Amino acid sequence: MRTTATARVDVAELVRLRTHRPEAVAEAAARRARRPLVEDTGRLMIVAADHPARGALGVGERRMAMASRADLLERLCLALSRPGVDGVLGTADILDDLLLLGVLDDKIVMGSMNRGGLQGASFELDDRFTGHRPKDIERLGFDAGKLLLRIDYDDPGSLNTLESTARVVDEMAERRLPVFVEPFISRRTPEGRLRNDLGAEAVTRSIAIASGLGGTSAYTWLKVPVTEDPDDMARVMETSTLPAVLLGGDVGEDQEGAYEKWRHALRLPTVQGLVVGRSLLYPADGDVAAAVDTAVGLL
């Protein structure tokens, strides 16, 4: 795979700062130049990098693709440098590194809020809020938060997930901070593995449920998958008037197929952009810049 990162991350310097000047993270956040969530184009292109905190390190057949933090940071820096990329979604450790690297000026910064549902764990659906809290996002001057809402009709614990999600929606609205809710109807396979249902009916139900959480939806956005049959998206997205972005997921080798699905869905009136991670940061051909530029072009 050819390398696409144009600059090397100095891990030793990051470790030095973390060791001797931990306050440097807050200082970098305080001086970060900010911008509106949505600018004149009315579109959003966000690169997602919150997967590692759930133990989800794989991309396609590469089970540990995201395990090297230096490599991930270099790919993120390259992606953020491309024209048309609005910002990044990440957990505290990754966003702290990016703050120290000085690459978040005039970018949207979204904090990932619940990462407790570790991939493959028996408690994966007990997706507790172990990441950014609303007060952390406010304190650091970040622009939005994102949470994952997976609902299994056969798991009574999903009620706790719904309630905790609703309270976070309320807390974010109190601070006038946008929160991006990523809903799924999920179920266990006979082997015990968790699967998200991307059928039109399931995605429709998940959108309807997520849209009604909390005491106000004024600051709620949706982060939704493209349905199994892309032709169903127009009907599915009629379920809510909340602004939405498309998530990327792990598209495997069919990058062109993913682009076509996104292009089709981006024509819908409620769809405002893309929040895509692994498929852009780890494309099959290794060309991060080209993958990001193609995704931006879809907007």
Cα distance between residue 169 and residue 192, in whole Å: 30
DSSP letters for 54-102: GT---BTTBTTTT--HHHHHHHHHHHHHSTT--EEEE-HHHHHHHHHHT
DSSP letters for 164-232: HHHHHHHHHHHTT--EEEEEEEEEE-TTS-EEE--SHHHHHHHHHHHHT-SS--TTEEEEEPPPSSGGG
- For 126-177, write each residue's pLDDT tens digit: 999 999 999 999 999 999 999 999 999 999 999 999 999 999 999 999 999 9
What is the length of the chain?
Answer: 299
Residue type, 138: E
Binning pLDDT at 50, 70 and 90, where does residue 248 land?
Answer: confident
Q: What is the mean pLDDT of the chain?
A: 94
Q: Sign of dihedral through CA atoms 155, 245, 111, 38?
A: negative
Token digits of residue 35: 């911008």
Output phi, psi for 29, to 5 deg: -65, -40
pLDDT of residue 255: 81
Token digits of residue 184: 């799924």
For residue 135, how many other CB atoms are within 10 A of its CB?
10
Indicate the angle between helix axes 11-20 and 92-101, nearest 10 degrees.
100
- For 116-134, write each residue's pLDDT tens digit: 999 999 999 999 999 999 9
Token digits of residue 298: 């879809």
Burial of 36 per CB tally in 10 Å (0-12, 13-18, 19+): exposed
231 Cβ contact partners less than 8 Å away, ≥ 6 residues apart: none
Is the CB of residue 110 less than 8 Å from the CB of residue 273? no
Q: Sign of dihedral through CA atoms 239, 243, 249, 254?
A: positive
pLDDT of residue 1: 27
Angle at the Cα of 206 from the Cα atoms of 165 and 197, rounded to 5 degrees: 120
Question: How much of the chain exceeds pLDDT 70, in percent?
Answer: 96
pLDDT of residue 256: 86
Query: Kind and range of the H or E element at 60?
Result: none
Residue type, 83: P
- For 193-241, write each residue's pLDDT tens digit: 999 999 999 999 999 999 999 999 999 999 999 999 999 999 999 999 9
Residue 250 pLDDT > 80 = no
Return the DSSP state at 8. -
